[in-house]
A = this chain, B = another copy of it.
Amino acid sequence: MYKDILVLGGDKRNINLANLLCEEGYNVSVFGFDDMSLFSSKAERRKNLSDGVESCDVVISGLPSTIDQITLNTPLCCEKIYFYSLFDLMKRNKIFLGAKMDDKLLHMAEVYDVQVVDYFKREELMVLNAIPTVEGALEIAMRETECTIHSSNCLVLGYGRIGKLLAKSLKSLGANVYVEARSKSDLSWIKAMGYKGINIRNVDYGIGHYDLIFNTVPHTILKSPSYSRIKPDCVLIELASSPGGFDIGEAEKHSVRVISAPGLPGKCAPGSAAVYLKDTVVNILNEL
C-alpha cells in the first residue's frame, strides 16, 4: 500500500488535492509552492526536492505535468524543477503520477527507470471532468446569448462523454435538443434519451434553425457551406481540443460568433476538479 505522497507543483487544484489526500489519511508532503498558507496543517512542506522525493513512494505532478517538456509545471513557485533532476532522485521503486505526458517525457522516464502513470488518461477522470465542462458550457451559453436556454434550439455535435451530459443538461433546462452522431447505435441512444438525432450527413440541412451549437468532436464537423446559413445571433461554443469541430475561417467570413472554451474544469470548478483528481489518484494507488 502506497501511503507516502509528494505533491510536486501544479496549480490551485493540486493544493486542494494535497488537502483532500490529507483528509483521506495519506501522509502528504508538498514541494513547488511558494505560499504554504493554503495547505492544511497536516501537509508537510519539504525544504528541497531531494528531501521531498526521499520521504515519499509516489510523486504527483500538476495538470499538465509540463509545459516546456523540460521542467515541471509549477505555476505557483519561482524555482524551476527539472525532470532529469526529479527522475534521477526517483530511481528505484518510486512512482510518478503525471498528466498529459508526451512520448519524449515517457521515454526519459524509461531511461531513468521510473514507473509512470498518466492519471489524465483514466476513463473515470475523463467522465467526471465532463460534469464541470458541461456546467462551464452552460454558463457561457447563458452569458453570451440574449435568450434563455429554455425553448432554444440547441445542436450538440458528437455524442461522447461531453455530448451525452451536455444534451441531458440542455434538455433538462427546457431546450429543444438535437444531437449529431455518426453511428446508428448512437442515434438509437439519442432517440431513447429523448433528443432528436441528426445523422452526420444531414447536419448541414436545417443548420439555420439553431440558437446554440456546441462542438465536442476534435475534428471539423461543420463544413463551409453551413456557415452562410447560420442565424445571425447563433453562438457556436467549442468544447473539443484543437483543431475542434468548427472552421474558424469560414465562421469569421460569415460573421458567425465562435467561443473557444478549453480547459473548463480547472477554470470553472477547481474545487470539484480537485475532488475528481483525488478520487482518481486513490483508485490508482489502490490498484498499484
Contact = CB atoms under 8 A, between A and B. Distances in A.
A135 B142 contact: yes
A192 B150 CA distance: 8
Nearest to A276: B188
A148 B130 CA distance: 11
A35 to B, nearest CB: 17
A124 interface: yes
Interface stretch (A101-109, A212-220, A263-271): A263-271
Contact of A185 (B124, B146, B168, B173): B124
A271 B146 contact: yes
Nearest to A123: B185
A83 B233 CA distance: 36
Contacts of A192: 127-128, 130-131, 150, 165, 174
Nearest to A131: B150
Interface string A161-175: 000010011001110
A187 interface: yes
B123 A184 contact: yes
Contacts of A187: 124
How many copies the complex holds: the figure is 4
A236 interface: no
A228 B139 CA distance: 30
A283 B124 CA distance: 33
Nearest to A185: B123
A165 B192 CA distance: 8
Contacts of A142: 135-136, 138-139, 268
A285 interface: no
A36 B150 CA distance: 30
Interface in A241-283: 268-272, 283
A119 to B, nearest CB: 12
Most buried by B among A124, A150, A194: A150
Contacts of A233: 271
A90 interface: no
A135 B148 contact: yes
A132 interface: yes
Contact of A147 (B122, B124, B271): B271
A275 to B, nearest CB: 8
Nearest to A142: B139
A91 B268 CA distance: 56
Contacts of A168: 193
B135 A150 contact: yes
Contact of A127 (B165, B185, B269): B185
